[in-house]
Amino acid sequence: MSPRIASLVLASGLAAVGAIDATEAPRPSGISIVDRDVIPATQVTPPCVSLAAAQTSVSIPTAYLEDLANQAQGDMQNSNDPARVAYWKGRSARWLLDLAGTVRDVKGCDSSPIAHAHRSSQRLAVTLLESGIAAVWVHDQPGFVSRLRARDYNRDCARGPLGSSSYRVANGPAVMLLVTCMR
């Protein structure tokens, strides 16, 4: 087969794959999907850091991030798991603090696009949402959101190469999609 024909065949195959609506694809058997509620903080006041998505923002108290960042002083030592987890939470918090400040949002937080945040910082934001420390607000609505809907897909990669968790305002817009595992 000539290189030109091979290129055309490959291009047509990619175009066909790109045209398939992902919502119509059947779920592989045995892959678990778990829906659950998450109760975020109901208020965050400045000083704070926000990660902005298209229609929502996640806001985190700066003081809490600074406390976490203080745990990541120096180099990570070969120590026990809790010390490593604390170190990575601290590094992730420091990255969020260093990222912030591109604009001031309507809640008074230093805000940056969520896509600019390091993946481990996004994971930290989700951890803080799930523990009730971070809050979520919808850009065109007053106040903070009282409940999120989380969907865990293939948690811990138990039945496939990729797992994720998606977060959205209950009956509302998406907040964040987080890849939770790959193998």
Q: What is the pLDDT of residues 110-139, one digit of tens each?
A: 999 999 999 999 999 999 999 999 999 999
**Angle at which helices 81-99 and 119-130 pack, to 10 degrees?**
100
Query: Quick one: which of 43, 50, 30, 21 has its CA closest to 145?
Result: 43
Query: Quick one: which of 140, 137, 121 has its CA closest to 41?
Result: 137
In the chain, the amino acid numbered 63 is A
Confidence of residue 150 (pLDDT cuts 50, 70, 90): very high
Query: Whole-number mean pLDDT of the chain?
Result: 85
- 55 φ, ψ to 5°? -120, -5
Other CB atoms within a 10 A radius of the CB of residue 46 amount to 14
Asked if residue 52 has pLDDT above 50, the reply is yes
CB 149 within 8 A of CB 35: yes
CB 59 within 8 A of CB 49: yes
Q: Per residue in 64-119, pLDDT tens? A: 999 999 987 766 666 677 888 888 999 999 999 999 667 999 999 999 999 999 99
In the chain, the amino acid numbered 28 is P
Burial, 155: exposed, middle or buried (Cβ in 10 Å; 0-12, 13-18, 19+)? middle
Query: Quick one: which of 98, 16, 103, 89 has its CA closest to 57?
Result: 103
Helices (H), the chain: 3-19, 62-69, 81-99, 119-130
Segment 20-24 mean pLDDT: 38
Asked if residue 171 has pLDDT above 80, the reply is yes
Task: Write the DSSP symbol of residue 39.
Answer: -
Q: Edge-to-edge, what's the strand order for the sheet holding 148-153?
A: 33-38, 148-153, 162-169, 174-182
